[in-house]
Structures are given as C-alpha cells and as structure tokens.
C-alpha cells in the first residue's frame, strides 16, 4: 500500500462524460481519490451518495473528489445520472491506475473471479503527495469521516 509522504502516481482517465481528467489538473488543491469496486452496487452506491450529499462541504473546504473504478465509461455515466453524482467518476478499465495505487486485484464471488478496484481512499495534498491512506473503508460513513479528518463539517 502506498504510504503518506509518497508522490501520488499521475494519471489521466476518462470521466463519466468521456472527458479526460488528470491528477495534475488539481495541483495546488487537496484531492480525495477514492477507489470503488463496481458502479451501481449496494456499497458503492451508498458511498457515492455520501460524497454527493456532502459535496457542498467538500467544495467549501476546497477539496476535489474523484471516484475511480474499472467500469467502462457507459456504466459510470449511467451510475452518475441515476444518482445525480456531479463529481468526476473515472473509468480505469484496465485497472492500471488502481494498480499504481496498490488498490486492484482479483476476488472470488459466487464461484467466479473478478478483477476490481479495492475500496481504498487516498487524500492527496496540494503538493501532489499522499497525506492520508484509508484501506478497506466502510462505505456507509466514509465520506463524513473524511470531512471530519479534513476539519470540515458534514452536511
């Protein structure tokens, strides 16, 4: 797992609209980079809605929120539209960015193996260095926990 103090790996991925988004676009701003396994599944929906419901607080704290999964753009576009998610969700179809963040692997569910992004979050500082790492987060309270850790008030 990447550690606080390390340089955050640079990336460029398409968002839910197909537009490229790179980490370097947020230089000088704190970024919450959260990896989630699969769009429109129970835990991922709870987590995404938590970020959505607290976006005003994240914006007030000048913190950008980026969600990454290995879903195709079409799936994250449907997910964003269905739940009115106005922050960037990024498609990492080959898992290379999740791998660079040591947040990608194979799991077995119902006798089948799936390559997924692990539910980990990285807070990246304005200088591009990792400030905090959250491994295997609870999707239910994670967006609010992050705000508290960042010294901001949840919705």
Confirm whether 44 is a catalytic residue: yes
Q: Count of alpha carbons within 13 Å of 31, Cβ hemisphere only?
A: 26
The label of the residue with tokens 């955050």 reads 8
Write out pLDDT tens, residues 90-137: 999 999 999 999 999 998 877 889 899 999 999 999 999 999 999 999
For residues 29 and 64, what is the distance between their CA atoms, to the nearest angstrom? Answer: 7
Domain boundaries, the chain: 12-149
Distance CA 129, CA 28 (A): 11
User: Catalytic one among 31, 32, 33, 44?
Assistant: 44
Residue 1 has pLDDT above 90, yes or no: no
What pLDDT, in 10s, does the model give residues 44-73? 999 999 999 999 999 999 999 999 999 999
Which pLDDT score, from 0 to 100, does residue 114 have? Answer: 86
* Fold of the 12-149 domain: Glutaredoxin (3.40.30)
Token couple for 51: 């970020």
Backbone angles phi, psi at 151, to 5 degrees: 80, 25
User: DSSP letter string over 93-108?
Assistant: TT-HHHHHTT-EEEEE
pLDDT (0 to 100) of residue 27: 95
């Amino acid at each position: 797992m990447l550690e606080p103090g390390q340089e955050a790996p640079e990336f460029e991925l398409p968002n839910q609209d197909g537009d490229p988004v790179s980490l370097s676009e947020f230089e000088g701003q704190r970024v919450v980079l959260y990896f989630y396994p699969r769009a429109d599944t129970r835990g991922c929906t709870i987590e995404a809605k938590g970020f959505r419901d607290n976006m005003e607080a994240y914006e007030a704290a000048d913190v950008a929120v980026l969600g990454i999964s290995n879903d195709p753009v079409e799936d994250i576009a449907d997910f964003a539209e269905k739940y009115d998610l106005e922050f960037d969700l990024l498609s990492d179809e080959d898992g290379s960015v999740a791998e660079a963040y040591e947040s990608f692997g194979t799991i077995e569910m119902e006798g089948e193996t799936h390559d997924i992004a692990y539910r980990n979050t990285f807070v990246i500082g304005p200088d591009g260095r990792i400030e905090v790492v959250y491994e295997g987060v609870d999707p239910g309270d994670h967006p609010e926990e992050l705000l508290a850790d960042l010294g901001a008030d949840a919705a």
